[in-house]
Structure 1
Amino acid sequence: MTTMTPCQSLTIRVYYEDTDFSGLVYHASYLRFMERARTEMLRSLGLDQRALLEGAAGAPIFFVVRAMDVDFRRPATMDDLLTVETEVLAVGGASLSLEQRVSREAEPLVSAKVRIVCVEAGRARRFPPEVRAKFERLLPDQA
């Protein structure tokens, strides 16, 4: 069982497929790394995305990235071991604000502010209460 902490962490190895012709990690690969970290955060909360889409919380819902502000500071290279941290900053009625950081041995490489929206039938909708409560457990002042 995963221990709940305000900041979730995922370790990722950089593979050849994550790099571009220069041997550096391609910018879109960082977005995939962050997506994986967000998915693992949901799993750590006991939220199964497939089950939510199939209506486990009432109506079928899913989460989409509404906005992302990314700051690329330093590159990573093949075989690097990266840490992707995900921190919940705020939980709104239908949205979630996150900060994600990618680092290599504590050296900051990429950071992003991410806004996630809960969607039902193609439109934003409020989080089901039990889903919202799980996200709120990750707020820094709740730990």
Structure 2
Amino acid sequence: MKAQHSIPIRIYWEDTDASGLVYHTSYIRFMERGRTELLRTLELDQRALLEGAAGGPIFFVVRAMNIDFRKPALMDDLLSVETRVTEIGGASIDLDQRVIRNGELLVGARVKVVCVENGRARRLPADVRTKFENALTAP
């Protein structure tokens, strides 16, 4: 896998607020899509994981997110959401996410996701950990 995963996002009316700028929570949705597509690229099927494919019904939740809103995006902009795996813990994965327009950083985020089973954090299953390790990049 490439060290950095990227997906395109087009800005629609529904993503903006009354001023015509992208509403701040829209960026969180865009980054969620980036994380979901990263899992697909790693061949981690969220439905299969939830149904027990890794030994128990697991899923990932956002534990922490630190967002830096630098510049606004506008309706019709074409953005890129970049996602990199920067660190892997026992039950967690740290990600760096960036929302870019024409090479310019608009929003950056540090995100920690945690593997959860039955409402509690659990260690990453070995095969899941290996897939994330293969995507690990230097911070």
Interval of TM-score (by shorter of Structure 1 and Structure 2): over 0.9
* 3-state SS, counterpart of residue 116 of structure 2: strand
Shift in Å, 1:100: 0.1
Give 2:61's aligned residue: 64
* 3-state SS, counterpart of residue 79 of structure 2: strand
Q: Unaligned regions of 5+ residues in structure 2, if any?
A: none
* 3-state SS, counterpart of residue 55 of structure 2: coil
Shift in Å, 1:85: 0.4
Note the 1:115-130 alignment, pairs <5 A. Answer: 115-130=112-127
Shift in Å, 1:72: 0.1
Decide which of 6, 12, 16 is 2:13's aligned counterpart.
16
Give 1:5's aligned residue: 2
CA distance in 2, matches of 1:36, 1:140: 20
CA distance in 1, matches of 2:55, 2:136: 24
Give 1:40's aligned residue: 37
Shift in Å, 1:130: 0.0
1:116-143 deviation per Cα after TM superposition (whole angstroms, max 9, x unaligned): 00000000000000000000001126xx
* 3-state SS, counterpart of residue 140 of structure 1: coil
Give 2:134's aligned residue: 137
What root-mean-square deviation, in Å, do the aligned CA atoms of Structure 1 and Structure 2 show? 0.6
Is 2:102 the partner of 1:105? yes
CA distance in 2, matches of 1:34, 1:115: 12
Taking only the aligned residue pairs, the percentage that are identical comes to 67
Aligned residues: 138
Q: Which amino acid aligns with 2:137?
A: P
Runs ≥4 in structure 1, deviation > 3 angstroms? none
Shift in Å, 1:6: 0.9
Q: Unaligned regions of 5+ residues in structure 1, if any?
A: none
CA distance in 2, matches of 1:20, 1:122: 35
Shift in Å, 1:113: 0.2
CA distance in 1, matches of 2:45, 2:136: 20
CA distance in 2, matches of 1:6, 1:123: 29
CA distance in 1, matches of 2:53, 2:46: 9
Shift in Å, 1:95: 0.1
Is 2:48 the partner of 1:51? yes
TM-score of the aligned structures, taking structure 1 as reference length = 0.95
* 3-state SS, counterpart of residue 94 of structure 2: strand
